[in-house]
Structure 1
Amino acid sequence: MLENVLESFYEIISAFITGVHKPVKGQLIKKHCEKLPIHGDISFPNAVKSWHEYLTTPVDIDREFTLLRFVGKEEKDLIEQSQNWVLQIQRVNECRERVYIFLERTRAIHVGLLEALRNNEFIAQSIREGTSRVLNDPNDENVNSITSLRVKCLTKTIQNFCSIHLKCKQSSPVILISSKSSSCDEGVRKVLCGAVLNAKTGVKEIKINADEFIRIRQGEMTLIAQHKYGVRVTTDSKWKDFIAHIGESAVVFELLQTKPNSAVKINFDCSSAGSSKGAAFILYNCARLQTILRTYNDRVIEGLYPSLPKFEDVDFSLLTEEDEWCLVYNYILGFPSVISNCVELNEKSCEFRPHHLCNFLCSMVRELSQYYRRVRILTEPRKHLLPVMFARIHMLKIINDTLKTCLHILNIKSVSQM
């Protein structure tokens, strides 16, 4: 089962306020994603009425009462009690409207990275075990149409989600992925796949088939590679194989980054080489991470760097850059919640949201790209510089594994170099 230390932390905060261990609904406790030094990492409303359904004491009091005052707690109580929690609180800022929580970052980074190591292994193992309860509709349309290709991509990704999620493993119905809205057999839950439309005409694309679509995206990737690396990309066999791979990956990503039951509008004009930039940028950052880690290992072999210390011997308090905290907080600690939010399977609903994972990936690599530009990872092998480099290498190894895990769920292979 996926570990989710942030969700557990929300439940502990709720219990601190209400005295009852009960999950809160919606966005009552909010995780912040930006301006963390100003607004804190987490906040919750300080108005009693916002919490009325969770409080045991009747809420018929003077409106001047704030939540903390109503429950007889102070900021210092929250900080002190958190010292016994998995995540600890460094500072609390209470305003009339909200209570803002600033986590103790060193502890949170250590906990988050350890959690990611276990979660990435759990996901890899779960996908290897697979599931036979997710099928694509055998009666669907032309097997080589782009809409049919989208059905196949969705089927593979939903199979992976169902392998990971306990609630899917415990659910007995077969899940059928289809582009047809017709009814299905008893005991079968249908996920409707939206058609692929031509962005220029606005109608379902039937002239260009799946193989031609992949070739168009491979052509885009060739143009991007030629612009960056020169004409040799059209003649070198390794380049051809590489471009074939990223072209296929770009197609999968493009078909999955829209909500499954919505139509996808595709621009088939590759003259601007712009339609595949999202996937290319993600794979480029995969390669960039791999290159950094490979270069470090090469320098260890050459004797220029010492071997990387064990995780438990690394001082993560040296990760003081704001970008480092954003990467760990948003994309390591925040990852399990994204996976959880991609699946809603119960008696009333059968919904999968791989587009959320696509959006998560895009945001993650943007943050990584900013980090590369601002921070030099591989430094001179001087004694006083090594400890922070060790902490950064460990962090990047786990971020790299998380990035590859996301791609694995989407059935996209990562790349080791560009």
Structure 2
Amino acid sequence: MRKSNEKLSQGDFSFPMDFRIWRDCFPDADKNYSGTVFTHQGIQPEEILEKSKEYQWILHVEKVEVLNNRCIIFLDRKKTFRYVLTHVLESRKKENTENSPRKVFLEKITSDSQTLTDYRAILLDKVLINILERSRKFTQVPTREVADICCVITSKSSTALQQGDKKILPGVVLDSRTGKKSSAVPWTECLEQKVKECELVARHRYGFRGSGNSDADKMFENLGRASMILELLEAKPTSPVAFGGSSSRGAAFVLYNSARMETLLEAFKFKKFPETPPLEDTDFGLLTEPEEWVLLLNFIASEEWMIENCISQIDIGRIGPHLICSYLQNLVTTFSAYYRRVQILTDNRQQLLHTLHARIQLLRALRMVFNRTLALLDIA
């Protein structure tokens, strides 16, 4: 199943119809059958529309087409906006957890070493705990006796394991200037340097003019720490990662767009627009800009899938916090393009309010998902 990312005119989801791709799903079928999965089952692709209604799919299908031997599904956008935004904005707790989530025990390994590779291991441990807290399919347990899966995150390849434990060994952190292992400088000093770099980026690239007070210092400290986290976790955990260079700009771009969201919502309050109506009375059919649909389908609606995908292979000792970094970067890239192209806060005129209210609800959900995703990475 493929989800469309950019070519929205070609549907929202699609899948190949060649039966040979699906034959493992039908163990009793003729393995040499050369038709489509639909002809094998004696149905037409268009019947997906009726089946979606019969089985009450939570995402409503509007139409189904066939193109180049692929079945293409178009969602009912108005209903999808309403369902997803209501689910995000009105849900308060982790619901619909699996009846028997798999239990994961994380062995704590302490080390006196203070290299960047050691800090990468510390970050992986924190992020994995956060992911397990949000997961519906896995849960962390305090003892190994009741665990289905036991994991050890360590920067030392020599760490001894108990039988059956899965070792997660982070790749070494390299100095981006030399390409060699970065071990001479403690990670705490690297963080101090990163804070200074982020202050320069904020002042020269984004025009920050604040004075050197405690609030500004705290902001630069948070920005430096966020930059360091994103830089160390953006690659697969087992792959080496280069630290240093201009990566601070990426973190600044992420947090700058976070500030944009907050500023828009604060301005909505400050300008005393009429408050948004209840979600059930909001006309989401007015959200017709392509970025609005991408933000909903690829990010807001995909949050839970992204979380589960990060630990889908934890049973063999593989985790994917780099997927969170990629998700964040793609989200802010799409939002930034939307922000530049579309005037979200319009004049306070009656004929414009319905569209404004729909966009504010979208923005509130996006901010909520964005902040939760930052929290997964232990970023305030």
TM range (shorter): 0.7 to 0.9
* Structure 1 residues 132 and 35: CA distance shift in structure 2, 3 A: closer
Gap change, CA 1:284 and 1:259, over 3 Å in 2: same
Q: Is it true that 1:341 corresponds to 2:309 in the alignment?
A: yes
Residue in 1 that maps onto 2:37: 67
Unmatched 5+ stretches in structure 2: 96-102, 142-146
Per the alignment, residue 233 of structure 2 pairs with: 256
Secondary structure of the corresponding residue to residue 376 of structure 1: coil
Judged with a 3 Å threshold, the aligned counterparts in structure 2 of structure 1 residues 299 and 259 are, in CA distance, closer, same or farther, namely same
Residue 50 to residue 230, structure 1, CA distance change in 2 (3 Å):
closer
Matched, 1:180 2:156: yes
Cα-to-partner distance string for 1:6-62 (whole Å, 9 max, x where unaligned): xxxxxxxxxxxxxxxxxxxxxxx222222021x21111112122222224553555x
The answer to whether the 8 A contact 1:120-1:402 is kept is no
CA distance in 1, matches of 2:369, 2:284: 18
Q: Given the alignment, which residue of 286, 297, 306 partners 1:329?
A: 297
| In structure 2, C-alpha distance between the alignment counterparts of 1:176 and 1:389, rounded to whole Å | 49
**Alpha-carbon distance in structure 2 between the residues aligned to 1:40 and 1:47:** 19
Whole-angstrom CA distance in 1 between matches of 2:172 and 2:340 = 40
> Which of 182-191 and 100-109 deviates more?
182-191
The one-letter code of the counterpart of 1:163 is E
Q: Is the 8 A contact 1:135 1:155 kept in 2?
A: no
TM-score (norm 2): 0.88
Contact 2:105 2:140 survives alignment (8 Å): no
Task: Report SS of the residue matched to 2:166.
Answer: strand
Distance 1:231 1:381, change over 3 A: closer
Q: Shift of residue 181 of structure 1?
A: 1.5
The partner residue of 1:154 within 107, 114, 124 is: 124
Q: State the match for 1:190 in structure 2.
A: 167
Residue equivalent to 2:339: 372
1:109 corresponds to which residue? 81
CA distances 1:118-147 after superposition (whole Å, capped 9, x unpaired)? 667439xxxxxxx99434421x351x3222
Map 1:4-403 → 2, pairs under 5 A: 29-37=1-9, 39-55=10-26, 57-58=29-30, 60-61=32-33, 63=34, 65-84=35-54, 85-117=57-89, 121-122=93-94, 133-138=105-110, 140-142=111-113, 144-165=114-135, 166-169=137-140, 171-182=147-158, 183-186=160-163, 188-228=165-205, 232-233=209-210, 235-267=212-244, 274-300=246-272, 305-345=273-313, 349-403=316-370
Question: 1: distance between equivalents of 2:338 and 2:208?
Answer: 31
Contact 2:227 2:248 in 1 (8 A): yes
Shift of 1:180: 1.1
Q: Is the 8 A contact 2:15 2:72 kept in 1?
A: yes
CA contact (8 A) 2:104 2:151 kept: no
Percent identity for Structure 1 against Structure 2: 32
**Contact 1:43–1:101, Cα closer than 8 Å, also in 2:** yes
Q: What letter is aligned with 1:83? A: K
- Please report how far the alpha carbon of residue 102 of structure 1 lies from its aligned counterpart in structure 2 after TM superposition: 1.1
Match of 2:193, SS state, is helix
